[in-house]
Structure 1
Amino acid sequence: MTSERESIERGEPALLILGCGYLGRRLARHYMDLGVTVLGVVASESSRRTLLDEGIPAIAVDLASADLAVLPLTGRAVFHLAPPPGQGVEDWVTRRLAAAFARQGHPRRLVYISTSGVYGDCGGAWVDETWPVRPSADRARRRWDAEQALRQWRRASGAALVVLRVAGIYGPGRLPLERIRQGLPLVRESQAPFSNRIHVDDLAQACVAAMERGSDGEIYNVCDDYPSTMTDYFFQIADAAGLPRPPVIPISEMEGQLSPGMRSYMRESRRLSNRKLRDELGVTLTYPALKDGLPGALGRR
């Protein structure tokens, strides 16, 4: 982050982290250790106090409703990690943010965390960044809308944009242990779709690589090396945690026994390729497989 030296000398934030939560705190600590001045942006005062208690400078600005003029945006590097609205197919929060960029001055570089869900159901095929975008769930449509809004902003502003399409995130405090303890059913493994995941620490290093080395306008899938079925994912966690494996049901029975959210995941199957992440960004995963990341995520190492 050598281009931020002047901002550091003036005591101004060189890096903004919008939505500085589970992932953002890791990024903040990484850059602060390098001497970069960081500002975490969160929606609530309680979240701000949590960051301050961890030594991370922060402000409380609700991107959905607050006056965004308080954000120091011009010429900064920005991680956009803030979630989209909870309903609809548009991410009007990101569109609002892009409008603020136009009014107040543009960041010089932005890394946006999107989702691999924008690819939709791929029938279990291996999917790289050239795969057509066909989101089927509203949560993925909102992310796709955000990608498009930011691409429009990039074309108009000349600022640099890198998009990461991220698999399901796991790590300490981010495992479905309660669901497993409840014994809620899963789809029979032979019928279960393929899913993908990434450890939060590997996602953090991918974010750093994207900020430092990502090519302007490029998209990178972020996932580990070994996709597996959703059912296998739960089984591996149960085994590692010493819990009974959940019962399984045929996929024909999922309508009455699985939550709407889980059913939506069951309707999509894809195996993400991370070759571009490895080859172009030079990322070497610390946890290339779920079995590598589970001991630490469970607090056992």
Structure 2
Amino acid sequence: MSDFKTISIIGCGWFGFPLARLLKSKGLAVKGCKRTPAGVEALTQAGIEGYCVGLDKDAVLPEGLLDADVLVINLPPGLRRGDSGYLERLATLRDAVKTPPKRLIFISSTGVYPDFPKLLDEHDSSAHSPTAAILLGAEALFAPFNTTVVRFAGLVGPERHPGRFFAGKKDIAGGAVPVNLVHLTDCIEGVMALIFADTLAPCYNLCAPKHPTKAEFYTLAAQVAGYELPAFIAGDDTDGKLVDGSLICRLHGFMYSYPDPVAMLHAADAF
């Protein structure tokens, strides 16, 4: 939609900051927030209107940050680190949105899908674990704003080389399960496509179309990066899942820059 002139990104980290820079390069007015003054200074130097914001209880969000045509919410839950305040912070943010934006995009995770041996699309989410229940609860918080949810698969890219994930580890389960990954470039380009699409579905997965096995991919990843190779349990039949990231392609003509995670490992600019 060409009438979108201002975009605010809540959470300008690994994904949000490069998205903000790309939007700025397209001539849009871009706002963003970080938790520290140093982070805000980095935004300012990139030509982004920066705000220093925390979302702790009773936090007051500046009105200017939320006054935008498009709002992109990208706040990683940190559940693996034992973060228990994710939903509370998001509720604080939701309550601060007084005027609904023309478009709201909420970044979520394919962790909402259970380990089930079939191709899983956007309708297959379930509260199959405590983590999935929290992720779905986060998505639901913004449902009143006619939100579009974008669920990222496992993230790879700069500072996230997959070669280190299992390097040198032994007796790893699940070697035969498929991997569900997406590169940072496709996260950025996919969300860009959705920001400016004429109409949107309620939810999209972003996941590379090809799914090598866990053992194949992470062994090769460690080899390419020069790490000690991992060792997987032979004959292990651990269940896995297969995430379908094709809806954005079918509806909007999107093409993944990195459709094959294995080929991604050999791309000079992939990391």
TM range (shorter): 0.7 to 0.9
TM-score w.r.t. length of structure 2: 0.86
Alignment deviations for residues 243-268 of structure 1 (CA, whole Å, 9 cap, x no partner): 3321234698xxxxxxxxxxxxx976
2:39 aligned with 1:47: yes
2:28 is aligned with what amino acid? V
Deviates more, 1:45-54 or 1:141-150: 45-54
In 1, distance between residues paired with 2:142 and 2:270? Answer: 40
CA shift, 1:100, in A, is 1.1
Percent identity of equivalent pairs: 25
Partner of 1:116: 110
Name the aligned partner's letter for residue 49 of structure 2.
Answer: P
Give 1:9's aligned residue.
Answer: none
- Find the residue that maps to 1:134 and give its secondary structure: coil
Match status 1:240 vs 2:224: yes
1:278 aligned to 2:264? no
**Aligned partner of residue 113 in structure 1, secondary structure:** strand
Structure 1 residues 21 and 36 mapped into 2: Cα distance closer, same or farther (>3 Å)? same
Task: Give the aligned partner of residue 90 of structure 2.
Answer: 94
Structure 2 stretches of 5 or more lacking a match? none
* C-alpha deviation, 1:24, in angstroms: 1.1
In 1, distance between residues paired with 2:29 and 2:85?
A: 35
Q: Equivalences for 1:1-301 in 2 at 5 Å?
A: 2-5=2-5, 14-65=6-57, 66-84=59-77, 86=79, 87-88=83-84, 91-101=87-97, 104-122=98-116, 124-138=117-131, 140-151=132-143, 153-154=144-145, 160-181=146-167, 183-185=168-170, 187=172, 192-213=176-197, 215-216=199-200, 218-249=202-233, 269-296=240-267
| CA shift in 2, pair 1:28/1:280, >3 Å | same
| Deviation per residue, 1:208-258 (Å, 9 max, x gap) | 112111744511111001123333331121122233321234698xxxxxx
Shift, 1:29, TM fit = 1.6
Cα-to-partner distance string for 1:260-298 (whole Å, 9 max, x where unaligned)? xxxxxx9762111122111012210111111332234x6
Paired residues of 1:89 and 1:145 also in contact (CA < 8 A): no
CA distance in 2, matches of 1:295, 1:169: 17
Compared CA separation, residues 287 and 136, structure 1 to 2 (3 A): same
Q: In structure 2, do the counterparts of structure 1 residues 46 and 89 end up closer, same or farther at CA, with 3 Å as the change threshold?
A: closer
Residues 119 and 244, structure 2, Cα contact 8 Å, conserved in 1: yes
Paired residues in the alignment total 267
The structural deviation recorded for 1:180 is: 4.5
TM-score (norm 1): 0.78
